[in-house]
Structure 1
Amino acid sequence: MFSKAALVTVALAVLASASPVINERGTPIPIVKRGSLTRPNGTFDAEKAIAARFKLQRRHARNLINLERNLGSERFKELYPDADLTKLQNDQDGDLEWTGTISIGTPAQSFTIDFDTGSADLWVGSSGCSTCRRHNTYNPSRSSTSDSQRGTFEIAYQDGTSASGPIYTDTVTVGGATVTGQFFSAVTNEAKQLTEDPEDGLLGLGLTALSSMNKDPFFVTAVKQNAVQEGVFAFKLGQSGSELYIGGTNSRLYEGSIEYHDVTTDKGYWQIGGASALHNGRTFASNLETIIDSGTTLMAAEPSVVDRFYGSIRGSGYDEESGYYTFPCNSVPEVSFNWGGKTWTISGDDFNLGETRSGGCAGALVGADLQMPNNVWLLGDTYVPTLLGSFSCILTPVIF
């Protein structure tokens, strides 16, 4: 774990259209987005949107369960006094992911992976997995650096199925950064939700407290082993040219100065405090804690706050089919955030998820009971494409 005295920051930078700087320290990994809540014809995909909304709540329920186990009940209750773990289920669903390539083992075995700042474990399918036939799988007998560890890894699903498998350590390479002895799981069964996904597994880029195995995630290991020139990774998420940049920030992708902010807690999330949310330039929520999560495509807040937000929009409504709020398609609300410096605005194209069958366009801000304090907002990749999102583990920071 990093020292509690260490500085924890977040930085924000505007995406650039030019290429002003050439010297870089890190390595870019091209990534692509698998899927969208908006169909190619611009209409709202209600079925995918329903799945995305439920996934958002369940994945953070799982994170709270991991936090309670890793931090201890007493510390967890101090952080989340109102959380009721008896109401939570530890599960994860397929959704919209940002994927790229990594390798595991010696010699290297390649995998297409979902990169996720909202979780902290690495897992892929095992060669002994009978349901993983569509995916690349990990064979420990073909790696000279593989080492079996005690315990098992498991993800449970709401329909009663699960993905589970043994835990290993091995050499892992991501974007030119190679670490040894990285803990991960090679699952021996995959539930239906996973067998239908194109990616081979998931690499969590959150902090150690979120880990189901209670082990350092890849990037924390990379920082401790000096495998990266700088303890920073950065996302550029967009319609094209998206990348995960390991070991620094790609200055070709942003312009102007970077705005830094402290990460407020050691809860395992990339979480920034002191935020204000604005609607058409006017503040409608302040003193917010904001969690940055590349594994979620939506933004979420306490339901009554979301209801109040849409209630202020003339012509807004509620789509019963999907459970999403709507607004007039010819009048997309301007939503922005401020952490005490520049105001960062979400593009209308990102906030607008498309026209619903009942009329109106669906908004990317949804109400969700995250079992967290009411001032906690979750910002998924609807928000991140506005900026260069950079996360620093030099002393546990984040950059946009």
Structure 2
Amino acid sequence: MKISACIVAALMVVASVQAAPLSEAEAHSNGWTVPLENNPSFDRNVSRQSLRAWAKFRKLASGNRIGRINAVTLPFIDVGHDYEYYTSVQIGTPPKTFKLNFDTGSSDLWFPYTACKTCKGKTIYNPTKSSTYKKDGRPWSIRYGDGSTSKGILGTDTVSLGGLNIIGQTIEMANEISTGFQKDEIDGLLGLGFNSICTVAGIKTPVDNLISQKLINSPIYGVFLGKAANGGGGAYTFGGYDKSKISGKLTTVPVDNSQGFWGITVDSLSAGSKSVTKKFQAIVDTGTTLCLLPNDVAATVAKQVGATDNNDGSYTISCDSSKIPDLHFTIGGANFKVPGADLIFDKNNDGTCIAGFGYSSLNFAILGDVFIKNNYVVFNQQVPQIQLAPIAGL
């Protein structure tokens, strides 16, 4: 899977189209939400996640319905105190259930199948047991920056997202996964990036097919990630968004998808009342755990919040949230906050704490779960654009 701590790299965002924002009534009424649940027992590895985030983005450095349902909300499980989130997805006929991480920073859908000898403890897909499976046979392979890998062959089958049946979805069946994936809670990954970054050219993503098969009325999905401190969980709503989760109005932000990612411009960043930097580029990525900033931006933030560089992409920060100012991101002319308390990501055995932001050799920011669990995001693939609003009640 591809989750990671906040890394930053430069992305040239040139948005050629900006459509008028969807009305709240229109978007919300057509949505179907999937909830997330909480799983408190998980061993987190921030360093590994930073490496994965860097590897994923390094190329940028220098009629098939159930009844009347046409949108769906999927509940998610919060693993390892906001380390990652996954939901259940049904694949095949009869359906088999897999735990998949939904990742806006990649575009492949993969999980283990019967030929995998390194997938002990995972849910295993058996193509011979599904009446809707069709053979493809082309190979695929993914490698991450920490050395984690997954590879196998392609096929097609029915994929069900909370009752929306995608017919003939290309699936990547893994016959080998490396140790990092073997130890992970999830079975595989479902990418929500653009199809230009699929491992095998020409594949349609699940969202592509939700739209082309007219399973959703609107080409959008809303993302709510819960905080373990508030009970965890979360939900993705395909075909709409959950109005009850937002505070105030949605702010529309143009997206540059030229590199296959959800690229946006951050107008400015401040820590408390002190300005950190003006404009920089960022990628909105549900598959990255932290907020990863460009080196110079991260260093300035660290100075303002009293964090110490660990020289590995992470920072040590005070465990007393009262001493840490909030971060304020200005995006599309509106303010989006990450509270000082959420800049404390984890506590070490020696009593020190790891920050919820970091850096790498990339020159754009990756706005991962530390940002998203404070700000609701509506992704619109067709414009493309995102819409943002602070999460209600925070």
> Secondary structure of the equivalent of 1:31?
strand
How many residues were matched structurally? 350
Q: Distance in 2 between matches of 1:272 and 1:60?
A: 14
Corresponding position of 1:110: 97
User: In the alignment, which of 45, 53, 56 is matched to residue 53 of structure 2?
Assistant: 56
Deviations 1:197-235 (A, max 9, x none): 222111001111221122221112211221112211111
Distance 1:111 1:301, change over 3 A: same
TM-score of the superposition, structure 2-length normalised? Answer: 0.79
| Structure 2 counterpart SS, 1:213 | coil
- 2:224 is the alignment partner of 1:236: yes
Residue aligning to 2:272:
280
Q: Would the aligned equivalents of 1:31 and 1:99 in 2 still touch at CA under 8 Å?
A: yes
Q: Structure 2, unaligned stretches of length 5 or more? A: 1-14, 63-79, 389-394
1:258 to 250, 255, 258: 250
Structure 1 pair 262/322, CA: closer, same or farther in 2 (3 Å)? closer
Answer with 202-211 or 238-247: which moved more. 238-247
Among candidates 284, 292, 314, match of residue 292 of structure 1? 284
What is the aligned-residue RMSD (CA, Å)?
3.2
- The structural deviation recorded for 1:177 is 2.2
Match of 1:171 among 134, 141, 158: 158
Q: Matches of residues 130-169 of structure 1 in structure 2 within 5 Å?
A: 130-156=117-143, 162-169=149-156
Q: Does 1:125 align with 2:125?
A: no
Q: Does 1:190 find its partner at 2:167?
A: no
Question: Structure 1 unaligned runs (5+)?
Answer: 14-19, 38-44, 65-79, 84-93
Partner of 1:341: 333
Cα displacement string for residues 153-173 of structure 1 (whole angstroms, at most 9, x for unaligned residues): 112356767321110111111
C-alpha distance after superposition, 1:315-351 (max 9, x if no partner): 5423468842434734112111012432111122221
Aligned to 1:227: 215
Preserved contact between residue 27 and residue 241 of structure 2 (Cα < 8 Å): no
Aligned partners of 2:52, 2:372: CA distance in 1, in Å?
19
Q: Is the 8 A contact 1:223 1:393 kept in 2?
A: no
Conservation of the 8 A alpha-carbon contact between 1:29 and 1:101:
no
Equivalent residue for 1:72? none
**Cα 1:211–1:151, aligned 2, differ >3 Å: closer, same or farther?**
same
CA distance in 2, matches of 1:200, 1:368: 28
The C-alpha deviation readout for 1:182-204, integer Å capped at 9, x for no partner, is 11211112211112222211100
Query: 1:33: Cα distance to partner?
Result: 5.9
Contact 2:103–2:285 (CA under 8 A) maintained in structure 1: yes
DSSP-derived class of the 1:168 partner = strand
Residue aligning to 1:324: 315
TM-score with structure 1 setting the length: 0.78
Distance 2:234 2:35 in 1: 6
Distance 1:161 1:52 in 2: 11
